[in-house]
Structure 1
């Protein structure tokens, strides 16, 4: 193989890498995290989320050092291979591959279920299949196009979160947020600790998969400069959004009604503006961009992982072939779908 067919094209700057990092995770700001309230309460979960944010900040700063030192499409696979040899690389590479290949079907079905609510005649399974076809094609067309699209939908998803906070702000009350905030109790005690530990997985939901941006390292221009800016800015963005979403959603009414549902943001907004508000309909529609951003970003991630494993000889060599025109791993993109 020539370099033209085995070397990825360096086109990504800090801003688009930031879009990939945030986009991979942004759907977690919309749903899933509120189950932590049912375990720890609003205040208990806030403490847990801040602790997890601190952990992820430390992790990302350490991860950034590895990514800039070894800018490789395999991400964790490359780092483990360098440190522990072929066996360590194999374990880390395939563990990462499983994570990124098995996540998109769930998100695709969520997109299908969401559109089925708006258009009952649509079969969620066919919508999910259509989502795969559309976004795999977009990834094949070129990393520049794919990353720009990811940036746009990520910015729209962030804009919608900011709109949510602004719309519900008039109905916010700190007393609502703090009521029964320690796992159902008004004050902290040791009885809140089991619930706080049980809420840890839901706090991780705010940040899970941001490390996938490292798999775009081979396509980054000047990775020693762009990657630290992108990942550092990404973790800061996600932390600020997570805190804002939690506080504003929990302060508009009885947060316990939002603790065990998949759509806490629309339900929280409904408490303030009612069922027929145009703001609510806009939130429901633009909320789809959060799912799309994560789905599209994870497709980018799994394709680079398959490509790097194939290039290293762990998967068929044909999967490391790049499209001659777009310089994207088209066979790896298709293989993961």
Structure 2
């Protein structure tokens, strides 16, 4: 492992402002992962299903109804644009996950390339991405539970108990409930959580294929004319909103310390999961728009179920089966993304940037128990109190910043550590990762001013936490040599 000034893993710490740019050495990050107290139980299949579970369902089941009015039939193109943006970043994630197989995901990659302050910003963005997206999907889960109750027994939960204050209610109790239920599963251990996720992924893939088969029976090609009724700007706005639906493909990169063969399996799992998810998203979007005119998507909740009600009738069994699949699908997303959030905080805690409580692992289950309970409690409160639209947009901006930093990390590590083993290499680098940066910037400027204001507030809070805690408790700060004071009377 490289040393700077005789101190392992420390970079530029002695210069003015050097504490902000000090870097973790790649070798130090790999060594931390190798010595991890977490248990290695996941193979390629489980890692791939972890990423599919974290991704598939979020946009299709929850956000599609809000994105279609922005783009019209061009929402199909929006999915492709968002998927292409995600693909460039997925290639970069694949290279870095095979190179640095830890739990920190893009936070750790940034720490090795851009320094501690930028790593903190990235980690803070990941807390926004993972934590807020769990809350957003939990809100969507509550919507589908209501839809299922309406279809089966003809009743729904009152708004006061199933909607946040901004949507006319008091508390979204179903959204908070599913977060707490996922917490109970996660506390049992990674192996048990992976088994539950495998079953749920199978159910939601079958549910989406069933939706396509039924919706295509009511397909009308005229619903796609004109393809761009709201122009290219509408398509871009739709892509920015739908980027939320690709969040999660990087979940496998947070399982680096629980993978049996991380260098081989992490890159494969990331790319394979993204390809599967993109193909299903485009297929479902074409089926949905073909079955129901885009103007009718305005204000719809439980969107796919409503498409089936419109196309095959409310008395049919198909909307009921689809709603069951949606409830299972969104449960899987909540479980797996919640898992990723906890592992990222675990890595940040091990580096000293957040309190050590988040890195304590229970000896019997191999789970960071306190971390799991604290994170889940925070997300449950968020899900109960904040509307879906605000959550989805806030998640997208945090994700795009993190992805942009991952693409930059690939370029920098190719120059700084060309000799470090890589089990996967991004093709046509540096062109490909720089295109990834460009796509992320393009999507960022498609988000509204309210989202940027909220993100600015989140970043201000994050920087305050870093300046008051992280910079002083950083592991790199503790390992720096302290200046020697001169003994009294040394000159006489």
The two structures have a TM-score, normalised by structure 1, of: 0.89
Aligned residue pairs: how many?
326
Aligned equivalent of 1:90, options 105, 116, 120? 120
SS in 2 for 1:287: helix
Is 1:227 paired with 2:266? yes
C-alpha displacement at 1:154, in angstroms?
1.6
Distance in 2 between residues matched to 1:167 and 1:256, nearest whole Å: 21
C-alpha displacement at 1:316, in angstroms?
1.6
Is 1:33 paired with 2:64? yes
Equivalent residue, structure 2, for 1:14: 44
Contact 1:22 1:210 in 2 (8 A): yes
SS in 1 for 2:113: helix
- Tell me whether 33-42 or 120-129 shows the greater mean CA deviation: 120-129
Aligned equivalent of 2:133, options 99, 103, 125? 103
Gaps spanning 5+ residues in structure 1: where?
Answer: 185-191
Is 1:143 paired with 2:190? yes
Contact 1:5 1:327 in 2 (8 A): no
Is 1:282 paired with 2:328? no
Aligned equivalent of 2:84, options 54, 58, 70? 54
Rate the CA distance shift 1:277–1:102 in 2: closer, same or farther, 3 A. same
Equivalent residue, structure 2, for 1:189: none
Is 1:154 paired with 2:188? no
Contact 1:38 1:183 in 2 (8 A): no
Rate the CA distance shift 1:31–1:116 in 2: closer, same or farther, 3 A. closer
Distance in 2 between residues matched to 1:128 and 1:198, nearest whole Å: 27
Aligned equivalent of 1:212, options 242, 251, 254? 251
Contact 2:103 2:257 in 1 (8 A): yes
- Tell me whether 226-235 or 166-175 shows the greater mean CA deviation: 166-175
Which one has the largest radius of gyration? 2
Aligned equivalent of 2:181, options 105, 118, 134? 134
- Tell me whether 163-172 or 86-95 shows the greater mean CA deviation: 86-95
Rate the CA distance shift 1:234–1:263 in 2: closer, same or farther, 3 A. same
Gaps spanning 5+ residues in structure 2: where?
Answer: 1-32, 150-154, 163-171, 377-492
Is 1:72 paired with 2:102? yes
The two structures have a TM-score, normalised by structure 2, of: 0.62
- Tell me whether 139-148 or 29-38 shows the greater mean CA deviation: 29-38
Contact 1:105 1:128 in 2 (8 A): yes
Contact 1:6 1:321 in 2 (8 A): no
Distance in 2 between residues matched to 1:319 and 1:331, nearest whole Å: 6
Distance in 2 between residues matched to 1:127 and 1:46, nearest whole Å: 31
Contact 2:90 2:250 in 1 (8 A): yes
Distance in 2 between residues matched to 1:199 and 1:116, nearest whole Å: 26
Rate the CA distance shift 1:265–1:329 in 2: closer, same or farther, 3 A. same
Contact 1:36 1:259 in 2 (8 A): no
Equivalent residue, structure 2, for 1:188: none
Higher relative contact order (CA 8 A, sep 6+): 1
- Tell me whether 116-125 or 152-161 shows the greater mean CA deviation: 116-125
Rate the CA distance shift 1:49–1:132 in 2: closer, same or farther, 3 A. closer
Contact 2:71 2:234 in 1 (8 A): yes
Rate the CA distance shift 1:47–1:68 in 2: closer, same or farther, 3 A. same
Structure 1 vs Structure 2 CA RMSD: 2.2
Superimposed CA distance per residue, residues 27-49 of structure 1 (whole angstroms, 9 cap, x where no aligned partner): 2221313433323321x332232
C-alpha displacement at 1:5, in angstroms?
10
Equivalent residue, structure 2, for 1:166: 213
C-alpha displacement at 1:196, in angstroms?
2.1
Equivalent residue, structure 1, for 2:222: 175
Distance in 2 between residues matched to 1:325 and 1:210, nearest whole Å: 29
- Tell me whether 263-272 or 55-64 shows the greater mean CA deviation: 263-272
Distance in 2 between residues matched to 1:60 and 1:41, nearest whole Å: 27
Superimposed CA distance per residue, residues 59-107 of structure 1 (whole angstroms, 9 cap, x where no aligned partner): 1011110111001101111101111222222221122123222332333
Distance in 2 between residues matched to 1:293 and 1:135, nearest whole Å: 9
Superimposed CA distance per residue, residues 229-278 of structure 1 (whole angstroms, 9 cap, x where no aligned partner): 21111111111111111111111242321254233211221233211001
Counterparts in 2 of 1:230-269, with a 5 A limit?
Answer: 230-269=269-308
